[in-house]
């Protein structure tokens, strides 16, 4: 079973030349143990050299590196971003299947030109508008490069012209649509729980962990982290705990014993273990192994950085 | 009065001259002359006859005028209500793109026949049935006249119950979905986030204010109402 482990994706602005603060954020991004780092080109000045240097730096801790491009300067931005060491592109505010397939063609040409494996660069799609939410199905199927679709609820609120109330989540529908459509298309949904989703900010680690867990329970497979402090609680929330792993090991054993004894429903600690519970146990155990492998990779990278 | 605002839409039976006169002076941005829900079948011919005079009474006070029509009897309702000075129609229980296209055609013919600018009459669709909501995007795309979408009385039409929490089951889903569809089509979502029993004729100024605050926070830009005392809170919140 191949599972995508991209729990935390740390978004950092690639600062304008000479902006020391932003440069520091980029230079230090690799230290935070994020599964992925996305260098945001939005609204910034850069050269191909600065982008390539930032990609190399961001990859030092074993993170997959993405570049978030501008819609208005797609060709220029792709040209600056695509090179060795890049995992893929984050396309912002996607609103049609056509723009995804067009971006796919541009990327294919650059892969060829730069001798990168054809089709190797992935897409993370930013869903930031009502149009994107409504047309999500054709959008996420528009290119085999699409591995994740990330709902930006702050942008969606702006698109709808609303100031949401913390106690009234306006995006149950949008989030539910994203979760169902992505699951059906075998693409991973990315997003944070409400209300942090509409107002990303720094919070105590315990609160972040709770909200990230909620996001996971809503069907999200990862979080775009707007602050480095989000990374640790997000990684933890999306990694099966040792207790959960232990329980699911016991589930598998008890179920196998039940099947051997001629029954497909077995009681265990007061719970009923049947086929869907056993199938879920398989997923949890596989995810735990995949997370452990990913963490080991990052550890090795950090040691040699 | 700023004649472009559409914060409050007060629905009154077209058959009641008193109700129309009161609505005209209520401060509502739009008065909706109803030929469907608030008029008994026996009174419908009379309501249609009174429609033009009612429209003139409302316009004299400065409010915009819409007529709510029944898609099952759209020819008769449109012939009665589409006169110079009408701003648009509300199509109750809108659910079929073909019917919306048919209504569009009748409107075009009446605009020509009655010396009105082509395309002057706008449409608001009330998606009150399961079918209308399922096909909302296609229904709302069926005519370029569509300016706004509302759920109207979907909770009643679809028998969506508020027990025991007070939150009307499935309405949050339908409201959030409507807002997304409306924005995707660049038309205006109209509504408020009602909780039982504060809706329809049981609405008060205070619970309308709360419903409008919730409605505004999820994306609605104005709302329909049945009572004159709801106009002020709607105008305040959807400012």
The average pLDDT across A200-225 equals 97
pTM assigned to the model: 0.94
For residue B183, the chain A residues in CB contact (below 8 A) are: 129-131, 159-160
Q: What is the pLDDT of residues A65-100, one digit of tens each?
A: 999 999 999 999 999 999 999 999 999 999 999 999
Interface contact flag, A134 B181, Cβ < 8 Å = yes
Residue A101 has pLDDT above 90, yes or no: yes
Partner-chain residue, chosen from A134, A163, A168, that has the shortest CB–CB distance to B137: A134
Q: What is the pLDDT of residue B3?
A: 66
Residue A254 has pLDDT above 80, yes or no: yes
Q: Is residue B194 part of a domain?
A: yes
The structure tokens 């709360």 sit at B210
Q: What is the pLDDT of residues B100-153, one digit of tens each?
A: 999 999 999 999 999 999 999 999 999 999 999 999 999 999 999 999 999 998
Is residue A221 very low, low, confident or very high in pLDDT (cuts 50, 70, 90)? very high
Distance CA A82, CA B203 (A): 59
> What share of chain A has pLDDT > 70, as a percent?
97
Minimum distance, in Å, between the CA of residue A157 and any CA atom of chain B: 8
**Residue A71, φ and ψ in degrees, nearest 5:** -65, -40
Q: What is the pLDDT of residue A22?
A: 56
Domain count, chain B: 1
Q: Is residue B2 part of a domain?
A: no
Q: Is residue B204 part of a domain?
A: yes
Extended beta strands in B151-200, E state: 188-190
Residue B209 has pLDDT above 90, yes or no: yes
Q: Which residue of A has its CA nearest to B137?
A: A134
Residue A299 has pLDDT above 90, yes or no: yes
Distance CA B192, CA B211 (A): 5
Where are the CATH 3.20.20.60 domain residues in chain A? 8-237
Partner-chain residue, chosen from B177, B184, B218, that has the shortest CB–CB distance to A162: B218
B218 in reach of chain A (CB within 8 A) = yes
Q: How many residues does chain B have?
A: 239
Residue B69 has pLDDT above 50, yes or no: yes
A104-109's contacts with Cβ under 8 Å and 24+ in sequence apart are A104/A142, A104/A143, A104/A145, A106/A74, A106/A75, A106/A78, A107/A78, A107/A82, A107/A145
The CA-based angle B74-B226-B199, given to 5 degrees, is: 115
Burial B210-231 (b: 16+ CB within 10 A, else e): bbbbbbbbbbbbbbbbbbbebb
Q: What is the pLDDT of residue A281?
A: 97
Which CATH number goes with the domain that contains B51? 3.20.20.60
Q: Is residue B3 part of a domain?
A: no
Q: What is the pLDDT of residues A155-175, one digit of tens each?
A: 999 999 999 999 999 999 999
Is residue B233 very low, low, confident or very high in pLDDT (cuts 50, 70, 90)? very high
Q: Yes or no: is domain A8-237 CATH 3.40.980.10?
A: no
Distance CA A68, CA A89 (A): 6
Q: What is the pLDDT of residue A43?
A: 77
| Host domain of residue B64 | 8-237
What's the helix, strand, coil split of chain A in %, to 5? 50, 15, 35
For residue B221, the chain A residues in CB contact (below 8 A) are: 161
Q: What is the pLDDT of residue B48?
A: 97
**Residue A229, φ and ψ in degrees, nearest 5:** -70, -15
Element (H, E) at A286: helix A275-304
Measured N-to-C along each axis, helices B44-60 and B17-24 cross at an angle, to the nearest 10 degrees, of: 20
The average pLDDT across B164-182 equals 94
């Amino acid at each position: 079973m191949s599972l995508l482990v991209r729990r935390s994706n740390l978004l950092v602005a690639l600062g304008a030349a000479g902006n020391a603060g932003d440069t520091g954020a980029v230079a230090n991004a690799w230290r935070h143990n994020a599964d992925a780092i996305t260098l945001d080109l939005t609204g910034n000045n850069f050269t191909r050299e600065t982008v390539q240097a930032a990609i190399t730096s961001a990859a030092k801790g074993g993170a997959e590196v993405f570049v978030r491009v501008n819609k208005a300067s797609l060709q220029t931005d792709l040209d600056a971003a695509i090179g060795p060491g890049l995992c893929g592109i984050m396309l912002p505010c996607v609103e049609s299947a056509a723009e995804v397939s067009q971006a796919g063609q541009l990327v294919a040409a650059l892969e060829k030109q730069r001798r990168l494996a054809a089709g190797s660069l992935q897409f993370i799609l930013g869903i930031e508008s009502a149009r994107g939410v409504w047309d999500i199905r054709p959008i996420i199927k528009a290119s085999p490069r699409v591995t994740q679709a990330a709902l930006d609820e702050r942008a969606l609120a702006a698109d709808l012209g609303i100031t949401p109330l913390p106690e009234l989540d306006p995006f149950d529908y949008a989030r539910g649509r994203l979760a169902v459509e992505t699951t059906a298309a075998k693409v991973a949904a990315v997003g944070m729980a409400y209300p942090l989703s509409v107002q990303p900010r720094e919070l105590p680690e315990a609160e972040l962990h709770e909200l990230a867990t909620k996001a996971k329970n809503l069907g999200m497979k990862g979080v775009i982290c707007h602050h480095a402090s989000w990374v640790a609680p997000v990684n933890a929330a999306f990694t099966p705990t040792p207790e959960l792993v232990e329980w699911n090991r016991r589930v598998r054993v008890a179920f196998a014993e039940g099947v051997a004894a001629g029954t497909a429903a077995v009681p265990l600690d007061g719970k009923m273990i049947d086929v869907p519970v056993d199938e879920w146990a398989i997923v949890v155990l596989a995810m735990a192994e995949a997370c452990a492998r990913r963490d080991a990779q990052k550890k090795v990278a950090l040691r040699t950085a | 009065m700023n004649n472009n605002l559409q914060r409050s839409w007060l629905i009154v039976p077209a058959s009641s001259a008193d109700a129309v006169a009161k609505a005209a002076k209520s401060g509502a941005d739009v008065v909706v002359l109803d030929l469907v829900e608030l008029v008994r079948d026996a009174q419908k011919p009379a309501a249609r006859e009174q429609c033009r005079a009612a429209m003139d009474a409302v316009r004299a006070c400065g409010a915009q005028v819409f007529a709510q029509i029944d898609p099952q009897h759209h020819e008769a309702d449109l012939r009665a209500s589409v006169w110079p000075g009408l701003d648009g129609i509300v199509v109750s229980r809108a659910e079929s793109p073909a019917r919306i296209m048919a209504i569009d055609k009748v409107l075009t013919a009446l605009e020509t026949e009655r010396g009105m600018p082509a395309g002057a009459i706008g449409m608001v669709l009330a998606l009150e049935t399961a079918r209308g909501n399922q096909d909302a995007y296609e229904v709302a795309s069926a005519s370029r006249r569509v300016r706004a979408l509302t759920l109207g009385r979907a909770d009643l039409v679809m028998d969506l119950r508020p027990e025991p929490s007070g939150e009307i089951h499935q309405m949050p889903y339908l409201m959030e979905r409507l807002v997304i569809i409306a924005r995707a089509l660049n038309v205006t979502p109209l509504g408020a986030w009602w909780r039982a029993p504060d809706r329809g004729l049981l609405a008060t100024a205070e619970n309308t204010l709360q419903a409008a605050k919730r409605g505004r926070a999820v994306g609605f830009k104005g709302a329909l109402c049945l009572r004159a005392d709801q106009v002020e809170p709607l105008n305040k919140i959807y400012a």
